[in-house]
Amino acid sequence: MLVSVGTRLGPYDILAFLGSGGIGEVYRARDPWLGRDVAIKVLPAAFSADPERLHRFEQEARAAAALNHPNIVTIHSVEEANGIRFLTMELVEGTSLADVIPNDGMPLDRVLKIAIPLAEALSAAHTKGITHRDLKPANIMVSPDGQVKILDFGLAKLREVAPAGLDVTGLATAHVTSEGRIVGTVAYMSPEQAEGKPIDHRSDLFSLGVLLYEMATGARPFRGDTNVSVLSSIIKDTPLSVTDLRPVLPRELSRIIKRCLVKDPEYRYQTAKDLRNDLRELQQDRDGGERQGSHGARTDAGMAVGLVRRHRATLIATTGGLVLLAIALLVGRLWFTRSSTGGPIDSLAVLPFVNVGADPNAEYLGAARSASIS
């Protein structure tokens, strides 16, 4: 039996085709029992025909279904009808991340609002021992209100792992291409995944680093004309920093992405929680800087008035000081004159009086007569 729009699969009415991937086709369907729309993923015939692969699939589906996180799509059930195995999942309304990344990259705040929930979702999954292994923009949905959801969590573990020692050419043919058709996840593989080595949760962190790089710049860090050349770039090349491509980005973001993309897993972030913490700290620093800048703009006028007032007070204080200095000099002169003549000063008929507030080059403005000196 072929699944198509307008048919029924078990109790579910198939309403629309949503897409396809390496492990099946996805449809929008109506659940008549609960009166809601769900997503149905129909598994390839190979899974149903191979008991071992089917058993692995069911185990991993149950593990993924046990995840309860707002940024991970919920798996409802594993079912069979008319000889077809399928999953029922939460239907996520929104747009694929692959369709919302602009050619020149996202604004920093947008990058962080998507990256932090992704890191939190990975942390929750890794804590349960589940590695996604197929993290890419097409597997991430962004709802109209900005909520981020990771799809197909844990199911990518069903992909065959190439034997150790398999050369890059063989890996590209066996792992990436099926019947001449490219799956399209090569650019997001970790180096150990590209080499066919055993992988763990740190492989997801490399893939998330690739996503961060693409969100920030609009370009992928590892590129090539063929899948083989892309795999070679992942294994050997060091990409330009995101600040080289977009100098407006903070160096801290460049450092975070660079650490995600380290070839050796031992020197990458060791947990998604550590990555999440660094991203959150960057977000808090940015938000704090914006608030400080806004406050500074509001107080510029007040600061200017304060400076004028302080300057005026300084001028007044300086003028007063000069007056006192002039009086002190006058007293000193009188005292010296008295001491040198040996007697009292009989007359202070005319003493010069200088108005220190006036032009210092002007003539004396008056005279002090019969002054008393204390």
CATH number at 95-291: 1.10.510.10
Least confident interval from 19-28, 173-182, 322-331: 173-182
CB 158 within 8 A of CB 50: no
Read off the pLDDT of residues 64-85 as tens digits, 9 standing for 90 and up.
888 889 999 999 988 989 888 8
pTM, rounded to two decimals: 0.70
**Backbone angles phi and psi of 373, in degrees to 5:** -105, 125
Q: Where are the domains of the chain?
A: 8-89, 95-291, 316-368
Q: What average pLDDT score do residues 253-282 get? A: 97
Is 8-89's fold the same as 95-291's? no
* β-bridge mates for residue 78, sequence order: 87
CATH number at 8-89: 3.30.200.20
Positions marked catalytic: 134
Say how far apart CA 215 and CA 209 lie, in whole Å: 10
Q: Mean pLDDT across the chain, nearest whole number?
A: 78
Split at pLDDT 50, 70, 90, the class of 3 is confident
